[in-house]
Amino acid sequence: CRVRVALRIRPKNTDELAQGADFDTCVELQPECKKLKLKKNNWASESYQFDEIFGENSSQKRIYEVVAKPVVESVLEGYNGTVMAYGQTGTGKTYTVGQLGKEDPSERGIMVRALEHILSSMSLETDSVAVSYLQLYLESVQDLLAPEKTNIPIVEDPKTGEVSLPGAAIVEIKDLEHVCQLLQIGETNRHAANTKMNTESSRSHAILIIHLQRSLKIKEETTVSIPSDTEHTLPGDLPLVLKSKLLIVDLAGSERIDKSGSEGHMIEEAKFINLSLSSLGKCINALAENSSHIPTRDSKLTRMLRDSFGGTARTSLVVTIGPSARHHSETSSTVLFGQRAMKVVNTIRLKEEVDYETLYKNVENEVDHLTSEMERQQKLRHREKMQLEKRLKESETFLNDLKMISSVQIENLEKEKHQFEYAVKRLMQELEEKEGRNNVLSEKIVHLETSLNEKKQQQLESFSTTQILAETTKTYEKKMGELLRELEEERSRSASMKGHFNVLEQQLSDARSSAQFQENMARELKRELSKITQTFTSQVHSLEEKISQLVSEKELIYGELKSTQAKVQDEASHRQSLEAEVLRLKRSKTDNCVEESKTLCGMVRSGSGLGSEAFMHKSGNLKETLASQRVGLPNVLALLKSEELEVQIHAVKVVANLAAEDINQEKIVEEGGLDALLSLLETSENTTIHRATAGAIANLAMNVSNQALIMNKGGARLLANIASKTDDPQTMRMVAGAIANLCGNEKWHAMLKQDGGIKALLGMFQTGHTDVIAQIARGLANFAKCESRVISQGHKKGRSLLIEDGVLSWIMANSTMFPPSTRRHIELAFCHLAQNVENSRDIIITGGIKELLRISKESSRDDARNLAKKALNSNPAFLKEIQ
Ligand code: ADP
Ligand code: MG
């Protein structure tokens, strides 16, 4: 593949145009036959053939398409390529190669167009394109994309001879805009560097290296075809990659330094510039002449372009010339350079490699996949192993269980076997015995046969006996037959016996197992039965106990019922007697005045008053009384203080009668009647007055407010005084009744006791009169009942006030001696006293427990019985005493 060389002539610049008709040109183009005529002088010229001739009007686009495009396409296919501009300064090398065309895209040079072409021809997803932009000046490589990098070394692969600059920046291209930015940066850096070094761009070589990497497989899918002459030594499924390089080189001016007006520059610099360029010329010459030695190593430029000339790259060269005859020699040398370059032949080679990176990645992925698969398998194996081990263990335990069970079964079977063997032995013995007996029978038969023979013999001897013998024989034969049959039967019987024996054996074993089972069952049932019997017996016992308890309760209730009935009868008779009394009184009432009868009824009814009959002796007296009443209560009360005893007595009697009525009581007290009565009680020595006064006070003492007045005015003391003085039972009855009424108010208990009321009450017992004793009993019952109530309500504490005055011993001595109503009052008084725990000790000492027990059982009154029981049951001291 020969190096392609095109020639481009720059249009006249302003200076040249200014010369007008005087402008002298030394070149004549013949583009149609791709020839250039270079005038030596006015008469002589020389003609040079090129691959392409571009006139001054040639467009940048055409230059690209003819010069660069084939090389770029070749690079896209995987070959290296070089496009280079060579020529005198100012002839348009940079214009041709590096023009950016920022303002006018049609002016874009080869670099921009090549990259545009490459970007549009490949996919950046699978392929990549990167650039390095370098400047070679004074044999030093500088990075135009990273200007701090200078003197970048050129490295050659000793095996492949591939040249690389690993120190240079390689920038991956994203898009065309990025390309323009990078080229602009490069241009700016080139200009800055040259300004710093006080030189011009024409003194340095600019080299753009475009690195292409393409995945071959993708290529195959697209339209790119791989040349068939390429040897594929790699296995088909290895990832292959095409790594090609395109060099676009803008060389320094090829003119001689002195001519270009660079006299001021150091000779050293010129020497270096010439070194690279002249070295390139030498190499081209050598290559053109097929010389054996190509001095590529003489300069950095030739080292970098080693692949471009005489290497494996496809190379295109543009030689640029100016039209002016003034630069004839430079133009001539440029044309000659181009002519020589055209003789250089390259051997292009596909830059194909195994994509080890992808291969490595693929292998790595595969290894990862295999590793994870292996781990998964290992886990699976492990799990399976665990499961198997578990199953093995289970099987082992199952086997052990089986072994145990079977050993037990074997043992049982062995035992059974022994038993059967024993039974068989016995049966065999029996059989043998029978056979022995059979043998004896056989022997007998033999014996009979022999005797038969003998007989036959005898038959011969004696014909006469023949007949007999014959008969005998028949008989024997018959017998023998019978014996034989018997034997046969015996045998068959023995056989059937054997069968029967087997059946029996079977039945025996069955029976044994069932017997065992039934035995267990029986044992279980027995146990259950005994349990049930026990429970039943205990239940029977408890029921019996309950029944006896119920019977005794029934008896108790029956007794109570009887006593209640008796009481009811008592009550009924009492009621009858009361009714008779009422009737009698009613009858007498009709004889007396209406007011008095009312008073009587009230007193009888109330039961706590004392009546007025004591004061009503004669109808004449009553008349006087009525007369005095008619004179008014104040007058009657005034008569209480009369000098005349008779008058006084009558007045007291009237007041006493009036005091029996509730409505009169208030008036009597209001009018100072109570005070008058009390003073009479204190001053009078007359028994009748005493009796009537005490009766009046007793009636007044039924009222609570009057009780306060009586007590506060020393009534109790006066009553006690009368009781001690008198021996008249009726007076005593009145006094006792008054005190008994006062006993019914717990408020005055203490005062009553202090004033000698209780002592007086007990003292009147001496009279022995039933009515007096009834009032005493009523008073004590009232007192004890009220006291007990106050104590039970918690308003009071301590021993009963009655005890100090000897009430308890009085009760003990007299409780059973009186008629029922009095007795009942005494019992109630005692039972109320027994409710107070503080009295317990005194009750016990005086022998009260016995009395309580008696009351609880014998008393005719329910309330007394109940109170006695309650005291006995609730008081621990009593309970202890009873025990
Ligand atoms: P060199 O790089 O060879 O020293 P340049 O590319 O710098 O030369 O060109 C020198 C001048 O000539 C620049 O101003 C450039 O624009 C102009 N020039 C070169 N070739 C052409 C062309 N073909 N058409 C128009 N102008 C050109
Ligand atoms: Mg230039």
The rounded distance, in Å, linking the Cα atoms of 870 and 848 is: 14
Ligand index nearest the alpha carbon of residue 54? 1
**Strand-pair partners of 248:** 83, 208
**Exposure of 735 by Cβ count < 10 A (0-12 exposed, 13-18 middle, 19+ buried)?**
buried
The rounded distance, in Å, linking the Cα atoms of 720 and 352 is: 157
For the annotated binding site for ATP, the residues are 87-94
294: Cβ contacts below 8 Å, ≥ 6 apart: 283, 286, 287, 310
Nearest-CA residue for atom 11 of ligand 1 = 90
CA 58 to chain centre: 90
SS3 state of residue 136 = strand
The first and second tokens of residue 479, run together, are 């017998």
Compute, in angstroms, the gap from residue 188 CA to the centroid of ligand 1.
Answer: 18
The 8-class DSSP code of residue 81 comes to: E
Give the pLDDT confidence score for residue 354 in this predicted structure.
79
Compute, in angstroms, the gap from residue 252 CA to the centroid of ligand 2.
Answer: 7
Angle (deg, nearest 10), helices 729-743 and 704-712? 110
Q: DSSP string covering 725-792, please?
A: H---HHHHHHHHHHHHHHHT-GGGHHHHHHTTHHHHHHHGGGG--HHHHHHHHHHHHHHHHHHHHHHH
Nearest-CA residue for atom 5 of ligand 1 = 92
Compute, in angstroms, the gap from residue 109 CA to the centroid of ligand 2.
Answer: 12
Nearest-CA residue for atom 17 of ligand 1 = 92
User: Which residue in the block uniquely carries the two structure tokens 């002796």?
Assistant: 617
CB atoms within 10 A of CB 479: 13
The rounded distance, in Å, linking the Cα atoms of 317 and 81 is: 11
Q: DSSP string covering 25-49, please?
A: B-EEEEGGGTEEEEESSSS-EEEEE
CA 71 to chain centre: 78
Residues with CB under 6 A from ligand 1: 10-11, 13, 87, 89-95, 202, 253, 320
The rounded distance, in Å, linking the Cα atoms of 111 and 209 is: 10
The rounded distance, in Å, linking the Cα atoms of 721 and 366 is: 139
pLDDT in tens, 267-282: 566 666 668 888 999 9
User: Which residue in the block uniquely carries the two structure tokens 């008249």?
Assistant: 728
Question: Residues 229, 231, 235, 240: is their CA dihedral positive or negative?
Answer: negative
Compute, in angstroms, the gap from residue 319 CA to the centroid of ligand 1.
Answer: 13
Give yes or no for a contact between 358 and 21, defined as CB atoms under 8 angstroms apart: no
Residues surrounding ion ligand 2 at CB below 5 Å: 93-94
Q: Interior CA angle at 654 toward 653 and 660, to 5°?
A: 95
Residues of the chain where predicted confidence (pLDDT) is lower than 50: 218-235, 258-262, 589-609, 611-614, 616-630
The ligand 1 atom at the shortest distance from the C-alpha of residue 320 is 3
Compute, in angstroms, the gap from residue 326 CA to the centroid of ligand 2.
Answer: 19
Q: Interior CA angle at 74 toward 68 and 75, to 5°?
A: 90
Ligand index nearest the alpha carbon of residue 323? 1
Ligand index nearest the alpha carbon of residue 89? 1
Compute, in angstroms, the gap from residue 203 CA to the centroid of ligand 1.
Answer: 15
Measured CA distances, 803 to 561, 761, 766, 792, 879 (Å): 36, 14, 19, 18, 22
Nearest-CA residue for atom 18 of ligand 1 = 92
Q: What is the pTM of this model?
A: 0.47
Give the pLDDT confidence score for residue 579 in this predicted structure.
66
Nearest-CA residue for atom 16 of ligand 1 = 95
CB atoms within 10 A of CB 209: 20
**Strand-pair partners of 345:** 2
Question: Residues 566, 571, 574, 575: is their CA dihedral positive or negative?
Answer: negative
Angle (deg, nearest 10), helices 110-121 and 176-196? 150
The first and second tokens of residue 199, run together, are 């030189």
For ligand 1, pick from 95, 199, 250, 320 the residue to mutate: most ligand atoms within 8 Å of CB: 95
Give yes or no for a contact between 100 and 238, defined as CB atoms under 8 angstroms apart: no
Q: Are strands 35-39 and 27-30 parallel, antiparallel or unpaired?
A: antiparallel
Ligand index nearest the alpha carbon of residue 58? 1
CA 635 to chain centre: 102
The first and second tokens of residue 622, run together, are 């009553």
User: Which residue in the block uniquely carries the two structure tokens 């997803």?
Assistant: 125
810: Cβ contacts below 8 Å, ≥ 6 apart: 762, 765
Residues comprising the chain, all counted? 883
Compute, in angstroms, the gap from residue 810 CA to the centroid of ligand 1.
Answer: 167
Q: DSSP string covering 651-710, please?
A: HHHHHHHHHTSHHHHHHHHHTTHHHHHHHHHHH---HHHHHHHHHHHHHHTTSHHHHHHH
Strands (E), 144-230: 155-156, 163-164, 171-172, 205-215
Nearest-CA residue for atom 9 of ligand 1 = 92
In terms of Cα–Cα distance, which of 102, 92, 103, 278 is closest to 177?
A: 102
The 8-class DSSP code of residue 259 comes to: T
The first and second tokens of residue 844, run together, are 């016990």
The 8-class DSSP code of residue 78 comes to: T
